[in-house]
Amino acid sequence: MANVTVNVPNDLKQDMNALDEINWSAVARKAFDDKVKLMKKMNELLKNSKLTEEDAIKLGRKVNKGMMEKHYKKMVK
């Protein structure tokens, strides 16, 4: 099995050390595995997409604007 080094902030490391019953290597391995599986699925779904990065940014901005307007209306009521 290969080794991977992960840097974490000192305060997080202290908190992790306080929870010595947890196998942090197993936690990290699971998180890495889950992320890789998700990215593989996303790549498979998007492999034939004609959507460009610029299109995705524009679409994201429209969604953000719509969500902002929706929540603003709720706040103003």
Question: What pLDDT digit, counting tens, does each position of 25-53 carry?
Answer: 999 999 999 999 999 999 999 899 898 98
Report helix, strand or coil for 8: coil
Question: For residue 75, what pLDDT band results from cuts at 50, 70 and 90?
Answer: confident
Report helix, strand or coil for 59: helix
Domain boundaries of the chain, sorted by first residue: 1-46, 50-77
| CA dist., res. 55 & res. 66, Å (int) | 17
For residue 32, give the nearest of 65, 12, 4 by alpha carbon. Answer: 4
| pLDDT number for residue 30 | 98
pLDDT above 80 (res 5): yes
Chain centroid offset of residue 72 CA? 26
Q: Do 16 and 8 meet the contact criterion of CB atoms below 8 Å apart?
A: yes
